A = this chain, B = another copy of it.
Amino acid sequence: MASSRPGPNLSRIATSLGVSIATVSNALSGKGRVSDQLVERIREHAAELGYVPSQAGRALRTGRSGVLGLVLPDIANPLFPKIAQAIEFAASAAGYGVLIADSRGDAAAQAEAINRLVERGVDGMVVIPRRATRITFAACPVAVIDTPSTPGNTVSADHWQGGREIALHLADLGHQRILIIGNNQESSVQNDRAGGIRAGLRPGMQAETLWIDKLERDGGNGCPLGLAERARQGFTAFAALSDLQALRALTELQQAGINVPAHVSVTGFDDLIWSPVVTPSLTTVRMDMDRIAGIAVSALADTISKSRAREGVLVTAEIERVAMQLIVRQSSGPREPGTKNLRDGEHVR
């Protein structure tokens, strides 16, 4: 005996209405030429019975599961909620479900996560690749979201331009010496952001980059960044390459008695959940995740409808760059002329 669902199926609707299964199917999907009157009757009856089409039956027949995979380097990344929400929303609107998979660990774990998704029969997937990983092939269409400098990419925020926005903003405020703070020297996203900042510098401005990952290799996790010292050295702006680092910088400076933005400015990237909530609220750069997700999902949907089921295709025709938007909040302000001459202990408890 094959196990059966308790709910009604096409066959039950058909017999109870005295029509064929094919007609019910056609009426419900609106595809076949069925008289309006019969369509009406069938739809009504189906609704009455609480008919829910079987995805399994449909999938087996059509070769499509109606599910998209979402592969992330690490779900714990604080950007994840925004991504997941945007992808889920876009996928939902396009009639897809979203299966998540964490590729925590190394590139091998990523390959495994992708395989798991393929085994579950996803029609395609959105991959946010691990640093320095290149997705070359999977057994289904793949859309990659990374950064425009990554080859084989499908869509992404223009992180470089986002960096320029930050630099221009800081320049307008009169800042001359900027400390860029990143936490992953191998991340192409962070490198693009840093490159953009440097590219946006006006003559006379200088930037130096502090990589936390390097620092922590020696100093241990959560070691102090020594930012008060940097402020004393004359840095007046701290441009973190992510809001988490910005938060880290902001609180370290505050704790050292340096006022933000009166003495120094702090900026971040991504407009994460806490950015508008902390005091002072964080100036940051936001990516339009809904647009990025929309583009990725519709590129995927197009490819799926054109390709044969389970054919591996990298959705990569033309890389779409989505501009990032500067959000000016309270953590950045005009450079205070005196700040440059901060002495030891002056603003430090």
Would A273 and B310 be within 8 Å (CB), given that A66-B120, A100-B100 are in contact? no
Question: Is A195's beta carbon under 8 Å from chain B?
Answer: no
**A6 surroundings in chain B (CB, below 8 A):** 308-311
Indicate if A13 sits at the interface (CB-CB under 8 A): no
Q: Which of B3, B82, B222 contacts A277 (CB 8 A)?
A: B222
A42 to B67, CA, bound (A): 30
A349:B259 contact, CB within 8 angstroms: yes
B278, A247: Cβ atoms closer than 8 Å: yes
| A 65-81 binary contact with B (CB < 8 Å = 1; else 0) | 11100000001111011
B309 pairs with A5, CB closer than 8 A: yes
Within 8 A of B (CB), among A85-127: 85, 88-89, 92, 97-102, 104, 116-121
**Chain B residues in 8 Å Cβ range of A237:** none
Are B255 and A224 in contact, CB atoms less than 8 angstroms apart?
no
Contacts of A75 in B (CB 8 A): 81, 84-85, 88
Which one, B117, B121, B250, B259, contacts A251 given CB within 8 A? Answer: B250
Question: Are B278 and A248 in contact (CB-based, < 8 A)?
Answer: yes
Assess whether A57 is interfacial by the CB under 8 Å rule. Answer: yes
CA distance A77 to B81 in the complex (A): 7
Does chain B have a CB within 8 A of A133?
no
Q: Which residues of B contact A254 (CB under 8 A)?
A: 251, 254-255, 279
Given contact pairs A60-B57, A63-B4, A277-B248, A52 touches B118 in the complex (Cβ within 8 A): yes
CA distance A281 to B247 in the complex (A): 12
Q: Is A336 an interface residue (CB 8 A)?
A: no
Q: Which residues of A contact B (CB under 8 A)?
A: 2-7, 52-57, 59-67, 75-78, 80-82, 84-85, 88-89, 92, 97-102, 104, 116-121, 139, 221-222, 224, 244, 247-248, 250-252, 254-255, 259-260, 273-274, 276-281, 308-311, 349
